[in-house]
Amino acid sequence: MSTDKSENMFWPDISTLEKAEGVAKGSCGIPIFVASITILVVLYGYFFSPILGITPWALIDASIFGLIAYGMFRINRLVSILGLIFYIWSQVDMLTTQGAGFSVLAVFFMIFWFNGIRGAFKYHKLKKQADSVEQVTT
């Protein structure tokens, strides 16, 4: 366990371009995980018995989460925000239709996703500053 206060997994340091990029790109693992689990649940339900009434139509959700992961890896701020909104909406939908939803894992995912959004915004801010400094010096 680290004693360094700058290494907080719930509020990571994004003070440099590299750290902000790492946090922003690192959060794309969340939609990849969600898409993967969705695909596995759909396949299990297709070949055996459906889990929580999830049908093959959920593959559309998995595809959307895959696209969101790609956009987050490209450090797209809008995709990150829309992805978090879509994830929250899907959790609320599961809660209202199947009675399953907001778990501790979902809350952690939302925290890490929000940090990815923070990282994306900070990355673009620092990149813009670095580009303007580079233009002044050349």
pLDDT, tens only, 1-52:
445 555 788 899 999 999 999 999 999 999 999 999 999 999 999 999 888 7
* pTM for this model (two decimals): 0.87
With CA atoms as reference, report the closest residue to 21 among 134, 131, 115, 137.
115
Please answer whether residues 69 and 106 qualify as being in contact, where contact means their C-beta atoms are separated by less than 8 angstroms.
Answer: no
| Token pair of 33 as six digits | 């995980």
- Hey, how many other C-beta atoms are within 10 angstroms of the C-beta on 136? 7
pLDDT digits (tens, 9 = 90+) for 52-78: 778 899 999 999 999 999 999 999 999
The mean pLDDT of 77-105, rounded to a whole number, is 88
Conformational region of residue 52, where left means phi above 0, alpha means psi within -120 to 50, and beta covers everything else: left
Cα within 13 Å of Cα(5), Cβ side: 0
End-to-end Cα distance, the chain: 44
Looking at residue 39, its pLDDT comes to 96
Average confidence (pLDDT) over 74-102: 89
pLDDT tens across 103-124, in order?
Answer: 889 999 999 999 999 999 999 9
